[in-house]
């Protein structure tokens, strides 16, 4: 079977990243104009979800890496 | 009177007939079984059927209403897909255990009384442990034993609850129970064990990744979702569920981020998704119960799809750790696409199934103004995208090239994944079909402009965070290591308990044994050989110890020598006193004691 290796080319990875950054930017812009239907006042702040998503993920990774992993990491034969 | 075939029966009986077939006939038989059962289910009218009188109570095997039907449908669909997925492996043990297990889960869903529910519940445990043991590795066998211990523990609690409940209420009907009375709390917790509530959850992350490739697909669908079903029927609106569910949604994502075994990552995200359903049950409004049911339906599909795609990787490469994989998109592009569809569905991307179901629970929480819960669920939504949505496909199919060159899994596995993926997209694009079978009438529109944009923002910026962390080198590298979880308590705890038994407690037991059965009897025997001499020697020793200071050295030496001589001579010449006078004094003593007891007891009686 023929191998697919589109992501071996740095150019393609760059395109993908550009799409991601572009998508983020476009969503922020659209957010200003789109009608907002909300339950809570903070949902009407432009970019609330964007900020929350970003902060949540960074917090998640840092907490998991620096706190949780220190507590729970063991060698693979720990239970053997 | 039984006038219909109970839906569970076809699967359970069918499971035992599997060995009778061979080759192609077996494949056809296995695939036909869920189809037949499904047709049977469709033709059973709404209501209660299959009633048997048992000890003044009614056992109802077949209760058809909207809630049970929804779970019945999806349980049939996923049974068919899992069988199709595993049909090339031709493993009778897995097929039989899988069918039996699915049949029991269907039995639970359609039971309308606590007794048959309990029986199916326990049979389900047996079916599921067989799926784990079928892998036949040392790890899977050990994990299976732990699994079965936890579940039987839960089963006993459930049984206690059921007995108390029947005693309190005089009815075995299984309907709304509510948290009222001791029995209901036991039942509540018994269900919770199967639902993988926090702390007790580790049976799931411990055992699911150790099951066979097909076994995990079966397992991911039934045990926790039957628990969700029974909770939704018996405890809708039970407030503790809101908090239990929120914790379930939040904590597993931290473990998932640092976990190396990809099936274990998926097991953690399974708990996270069930958390959303549990919150929905706890809120207890029509919207939230609808959300729970819809999410269970969608979740079973995309979770099975994810386990299938990772299973295909195991099937082809024999590896499952993120550290060993990477770059597989080059040779397994279709599997990669199916995995991404499953990932997009679990992350609730618009046009994928999670989007139309999860948001109902979120909206229900917002309607009730549960601010903290809403924030936790939003965090969990971003987190699940992070680990199940990005991490699993990224580390398996992209990331660094592991150098593994393999090929797509066999056609039947691809078709099974294809159908499941198509269903995920279909539900996401046309949610009305799913909404029309929900327990309550649906007045909910997922595709509003603000909802789509807010969800896309959440996901895109989560992806941005992942990219940023990865490029900056902050993202935790996958390490060859395991992470302990609460199963540590019984894995190491049991070893500790055994150590305690074998060392301090066994020593203490031996001491007691030696003292009572050796030392004391032998001393008594020694003493009885010549009591007077023994007493005299003891007196000498005591006297020596007390007056040693005041004696002269020679005297001390002399006494010592005498004690030693006496000890070597012991028992020596036994002097027996047998005067009549002594006997008379004893008799007098007894008579006196008798007299005193007589007088005193007489007084007390008056």
Q: What is the pLDDT of residues B540-596, one digit of tens each?
A: 888 888 888 888 888 888 888 888 888 888 877 776 666 788 889 989 999 999 999
Q: How far is CA B168 from the centre of its chain?
A: 28
Do A11 and A30 share a domain, yes or no?
yes
For B178, phi and psi rounded to 5 degrees?
75, 155
Confidence tier at B535 by pLDDT (50, 70, 90): confident
The whole-number pLDDT of residue B577 equals 62
Whether B383 and A60 lie within 8 Å, measured CB to CB: yes
Q: Does the CB of A28 have a partner CB in chain B at under 8 Å?
A: yes
Neighbouring C-alpha atoms within 13 Å toward the C-beta of B6: 28
| Stretch (H or E) spanning B265 | helix B262-283
A43, A57, A63 ranked by CB distance to B386: nearest: A57
Of the candidates B220, B12, B241, B31, which has an alpha carbon nearest to the alpha carbon of residue B108? B12
Do A42 and A79 share a domain, yes or no?
yes
Q: What is the tally of structural domains in chain A?
A: 2
Strands B47-54 and B57-64 turn out to be antiparallel
| Stretch (H or E) spanning B58 | strand B57-64
Do A30 and A43 share a domain, yes or no?
no
Whether A60 and B257 lie within 8 Å, measured CB to CB: yes
Whether B451 and A37 lie within 8 Å, measured CB to CB: yes
| Stretch (H or E) spanning A53 | helix A48-63
Q: What is the ipTM of this complex?
A: 0.91
Residues of B in contact with A79 (CB under 8 A): 482, 491
Do A50 and A23 share a domain, yes or no?
no
Do A76 and A48 share a domain, yes or no?
yes
The residue of chain A with its CA nearest to that of B252 is: A64
The whole-number pLDDT of residue A78 equals 83
The whole-number pLDDT of residue B576 equals 64
Contact (CB, 8 A) for B228 and B193: no
Confidence tier at B534 by pLDDT (50, 70, 90): confident
CA distance B65 to B294: 15
Model pLDDT for residues B202-251, shown as the tens digit of each residue: 999 999 999 999 999 999 999 999 999 999 999 998 899 999 999 999 99
CA distance to partner chain B, nearest, from residue A15 (Å): 14
Across residues B143-149, what is the average pLDDT? 93
Contact (CB, 8 A) for B362 and B377: yes
Quick check: B1 pLDDT over 50?
Answer: no
Peptide bond preceding B571 in cis form (omega within 30 of 0): yes
Mapping DSSP to helix (H, G, I), strand (E, B) and coil, where does residue B510 land?
A: helix
CA distance to partner chain B, nearest, from residue A35 (Å): 6
Residue with structure tokens 């076809």?
Answer: B10
The residue of chain A with its CA nearest to that of B457 is: A50
Model pLDDT for residues B292-341, shown as the tens digit of each residue: 999 999 999 999 999 999 999 999 998 888 888 888 888 899 999 999 99
Contact (CB, 8 A) for B339 and B310: yes
Residues of A (44-63) whose Cβ lies below 8 Å from B = 47-54, 56-58, 60-63
CA distance B208 to B217: 9
Whether A50 and B491 lie within 8 Å, measured CB to CB: no
Quick check: B192 pLDDT over 90?
Answer: yes
Q: CB within 8 A of A77, min separation 6: which ones?
A: none
The whole-number pLDDT of residue B474 equals 83
Do A23 and A56 share a domain, yes or no?
no
Residue B585's beta-bridge partner residues?
Answer: none
Model pLDDT for residues B391-445, shown as the tens digit of each residue: 889 988 888 888 888 888 889 999 999 999 999 999 999 998 999 989 888 888 8
Across residues B2-6, what is the average pLDDT? 74
CA B408-B411-B417 angle, to 5 degrees, is: 80
The whole-number pLDDT of residue A48 equals 85
Do A27 and A52 share a domain, yes or no?
no
Highest mean pLDDT among B160-164, B167-171, B364-368, B470-474: B160-164
CA distance to partner chain A, nearest, from residue B387 (Å): 10
Token pair belonging to B137: 């590795």
Residues of A in contact with B466 (CB under 8 A): 57
Do A53 and A27 share a domain, yes or no?
no
Q: CB within 8 A of B63, min separation 6: which ones?
A: B47, B48, B49, B110, B111, B112
Do A79 and A47 share a domain, yes or no?
yes
Contact (CB, 8 A) for B40 and B10: yes
Residue B483's beta-bridge partner residues?
Answer: A73
Q: How far is CA B297 from the centre of its chain?
A: 21
Q: CB within 8 A of B114, min separation 6: which ones?
A: B162, B165, B166, B172, B173, B174
Model pLDDT for residues B89-107, shown as the tens digit of each residue: 878 888 999 999 999 999 9
Q: What value does the mean pLDDT of chain B take?
A: 89
The whole-number pLDDT of residue B308 equals 94
Could you tell me what percent of chain B has a pLDDT over 90? 50
Residue B482's beta-bridge partner residues?
Answer: A74
Across residues A30-34, what is the average pLDDT? 78
CA distance to partner chain A, nearest, from residue B84 (Å): 24
Model pLDDT for residues B474-521, shown as the tens digit of each residue: 888 778 888 888 888 888 888 888 889 888 899 999 999 999 999 999
Q: Does the CB of B382 have a partner CB in chain A at under 8 Å?
A: yes
B254, B460, B491 ranked by CB distance to A24: nearest: B460
For residue A73, what are the domain limits? 38-80
Model pLDDT for residues B263-303, shown as the tens digit of each residue: 999 999 999 999 999 999 999 899 999 999 999 999 999 99
Across residues A63-71, what is the average pLDDT? 87
CA distance B271 to B303: 11
Model pLDDT for residues A68-78, shown as the tens digit of each residue: 888 888 888 88
Quick check: A28 pLDDT over 50?
Answer: yes
The whole-number pLDDT of residue A1 equals 57
Do A24 and A47 share a domain, yes or no?
no
| Stretch (H or E) spanning A74 | strand A73-74
How many residue contacts between A and B have a Cβ separation below 8 Å? 152
Do A53 and A20 share a domain, yes or no?
no
Whether B257 and A64 lie within 8 Å, measured CB to CB: yes
Do A28 and A64 share a domain, yes or no?
no
CA distance B351 to B381: 16
Residues of A in contact with B316 (CB under 8 A): none
- Which CA distances in Å does B14 have to B276, B575, B601? 34, 88, 77
CA B502-B505-B508 angle, to 5 degrees, is: 125
């Amino acid at each position: 079977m023929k191998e697919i290796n589109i992501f071996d080319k740095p150019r393609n990875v760059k395109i993908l990243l550009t799409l991601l950054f572009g998508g983020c930017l476009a969503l922020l812009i659209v957010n200003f104009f789109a009608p907002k239907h909300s339950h809570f006042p903070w949902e009407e702040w432009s970019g609330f979800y964007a900020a929350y998503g970003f902060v949540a993920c960074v917090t998640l990774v840092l907490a998991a890496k620096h706190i949780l992993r220190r507590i729970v990491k063991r060698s693979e034969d720990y239970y053997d | 009177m039984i006038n219909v075939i109970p839906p569970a029966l076809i699967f359970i009986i069918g499971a035992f007939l599997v060995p009778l077939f061979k080759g192609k006939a077996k494949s056809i038989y296995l695939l036909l079984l869920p189809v037949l059962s499904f047709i049977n289910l469709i033709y059973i009218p709404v209501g209660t059927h299959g009633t048997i009188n048992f000890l003044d109570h009614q056992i109802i095997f077949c209760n058809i209403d909207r809630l049970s039907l929804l779970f019945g449908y999806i349980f049939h669909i996923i049974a068919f897909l899992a069988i199709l997925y595993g049909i090339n492996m031709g493993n009778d043990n897995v097929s039989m255990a899988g069918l039996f297990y699915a049949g029991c889960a269907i039995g639970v869903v359609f039971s309308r009384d606590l007794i048959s529910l309990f029986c199916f519940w326990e049979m389900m445990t047996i079916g599921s442990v067989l799926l784990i043991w079928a892998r036949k590795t040392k790890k899977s066998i050990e994990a299976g034993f732990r699994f079965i211990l936890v579940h039987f523990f839960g089963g006993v609690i459930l049984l206690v609850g059921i007995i108390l409940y029947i005693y309190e209420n005089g009815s075995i009907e299984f309907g709304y129970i509510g948290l009222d009375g001791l029995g209901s709390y036991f039942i509540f917790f018994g269900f919770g064990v199967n639902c993988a509530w926090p702390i007790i959850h580790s049976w799931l992350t411990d055992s699911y990744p150790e099951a066979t490739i097909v076994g995990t697909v079966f397992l991911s669908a039934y045990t926790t979702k039957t628990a969700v079903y029974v909770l939704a029927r018996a405890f809708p609106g039970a407030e503790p569920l809101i908090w239990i569910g929120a914790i379930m949604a939040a904590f597993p994502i931290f473990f998932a981020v640092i976990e190396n075994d990809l099936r274990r990552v998926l097991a953690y995200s399974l708990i996270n998704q069930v958390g959303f359903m549990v919150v929905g049950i706890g809120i207890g409004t029509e919207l939230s119960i609808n959300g729970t049911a819809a999410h269970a339906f969608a979740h079973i599909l995309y979770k099975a799809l994810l386990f299938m795609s990772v299973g295909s990787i195991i099937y082809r490469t024999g590896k499952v750790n993120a550290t060993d994989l990477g770059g597989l998109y080059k040779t397994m592009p279709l599997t990669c696409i199916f995995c991404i569809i499953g990932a997009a569905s679990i992350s609730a991307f618009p046009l994928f199934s999670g989007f139309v179901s999860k948001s109902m629970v979120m909206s229900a929480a917002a309607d009730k103004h549960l601010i903290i819960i809403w924030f936790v669920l939003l965090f969990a939504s971003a987190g699940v995208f992070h680990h199940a949505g990005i991490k699993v496909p990224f580390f398996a199919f992209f990331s660094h090239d592991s150098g593994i060159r393999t090929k797509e899994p066999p056609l039947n596995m691809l078709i099974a994944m294809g159908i499941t993926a198509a269903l995920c997209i279909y539900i996401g694009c046309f949610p009305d079909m799913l909404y029309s079978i929900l327990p309550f009438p649906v007045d909910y529109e997922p595709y509003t402009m603000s909802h789509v944009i807010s969800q896309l923002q959440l996901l895109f910026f989560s992806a941005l965070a992942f990219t940023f962390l990865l490029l900056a080198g902050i993202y935790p590298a996958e390490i060859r290591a395991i992470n302990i979880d609460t199963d540590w308590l019984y894995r190491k705890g049991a070893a500790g308990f055994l150590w305690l038994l074998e060392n301090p407690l066994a020593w203490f037991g031996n001491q007691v044994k030696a003292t009572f059965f050796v030392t004391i009897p032998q001393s008594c025997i020694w003493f009885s050989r010549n009591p007077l001499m023994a007493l005299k020697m003891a007196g000498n020793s005591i006297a020596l110890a007390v007056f040693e200071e005041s004696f002269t050295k020679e005297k001390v030496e002399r006494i010592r020598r005498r004690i030693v001589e006496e000890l070597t001579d012991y028992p020596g010449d036994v002097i027996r006193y047998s005067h009549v006078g002594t006997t008379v004094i004893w008799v007098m003593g007894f008579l006196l004691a008798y007299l005193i007891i007589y007088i005193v007891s007489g007084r007390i009686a008056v």
